[in-house]
Amino acid sequence: MTATGLTPVEIAALHRRAGEAARNSYSPYSHFRVGAAVLLLADERQDGEIVAGTNVENASYRLTSCAEQAAIAAAVTLYGPGIRIRAVAVVNLNGATCMPCGACRQTLIEFADDEAAVFYPSAKGETVSTTLGALLPAGFRLKAE
């Protein structure tokens, strides 16, 4: 186990699935190819599944969908609105720093606890490991936990 509570195998699988998703990116304008993978908490409907998504751009940039939100939408589609996210990995094929944006952090917090692990590449190409709570302190929650 690592400090995140995930095994090295789980972390590697998250990164692999996010990388695979990034290769399917629809990014004809920015050419910034991003993939994300979420590891779901095991429950009676699924057993720690990894669900991935990629960014989908639009000529009207504001309508672009982020990879993290695509992964979450896919997970909800597959397993229903009660999903809980244990961890998320974000990768890009451009060798750039790529942490979840503010909108994605807020979307993640809807389905994850502050302790959920977040992995993303640094400017030096190293993997940063942090928590959702560290990325979004005092995140907005409408429903009680």
Which residues are the active-site residues? 68
Q: Which residues pair with 80 in a beta bridge?
A: none
Please compute, for residue 3, the number of CA atoms within 13 A of its CA located in the half-sphere on the CB side. Answer: 6
Residue ranges of E strands in the chain: 34-40, 50-54, 85-92, 112-121, 127-131
Residue 62 tokens, joined? 């504001």
